[in-house]
Amino acid sequence: MELLDQSKLPKVRMAIIALSIVVPVVVAALFKIKIEGFDASFLPPVYAGINALTALVLIRALLAIKSKNITLHRSLIRFALLLSILFLVLYVAYHVFSDSTFYGDTNHDGKVDILEKMNAGWMAYVYYFLLVTHILLSMAVIPLVLFTYLAAWQGNYEKHKRMTRFTFPIWLYVAVTGVIVYIMVAPFYA
């Protein structure tokens, strides 16, 4: 891999910071937009599958670097980045064309009444804990992944390795909880 030209470092850092702010803001803003006329109901299992594949690719990338296969590791991490971008695009597309689905909404009316809350029981707390941590960490993972990647791109492999100790488990958690959240809410899709 060609190392980053150090004169470009300030611009790359600013781009990472900008992306880390803009992506969550744009995603939140797009949740306010609803476009009728396209059935996007096929997307949740697709983007959940992409999350599952991301988790597997991340684990394989870890195994590759542990066995000192840097070329494979680099390729797998780049693939995981592409999968994460694809996930984000499909996730946003689904929410632009579809209403949100609520855990426990058995009658599919877009709200969870008291009876539905009672039927959902304590599993609703598990679901919302996973959902909230997934969302918050998905925002945090953007700069973590990009700055960790940047450290490797600069050739600062010690810094990359130190950062990976935090970045990898968070990225993996986001990917895995994305699948779990989908599996838990899937019965409530209209």
State the Cα–Cα distance between residues 172 and 20, nearest whole angstrom: 18
User: What is residue 65's predicted lDDT score, i.e. its pLDDT?
Assistant: 96
> Residue 41 gets which letter from DSSP?
T
Contact 127, 108 (CB under 8 A): no
134, containing H or E segment: helix 123-153
Contact 4, 153 (CB under 8 A): yes
**Residues contacting residue 12 through CB under 8 Å, at least 6 positions apart:** 4, 150
Contact 27, 88 (CB under 8 A): yes
Tell me the per-residue pLDDT of 9-25, one tens digit each, with 9 for 90 and over: 789 899 999 999 999 99
CATH architecture assigned to 40-188 = Up-down Bundle (1.20)
Environment class of 152 (CB within 10 Å of its CB; exposed 0-12, middle 13-18, buried 19+): buried
Least Cα distance to 178 among 142, 127, 143 occurs for: 127
Tell me the per-residue pLDDT of 112-142, one tens digit each, with 9 for 90 and over: 989 988 988 899 999 999 999 999 999 999 9
State the Cα–Cα distance between residues 90 and 94, nearest whole angstrom: 6
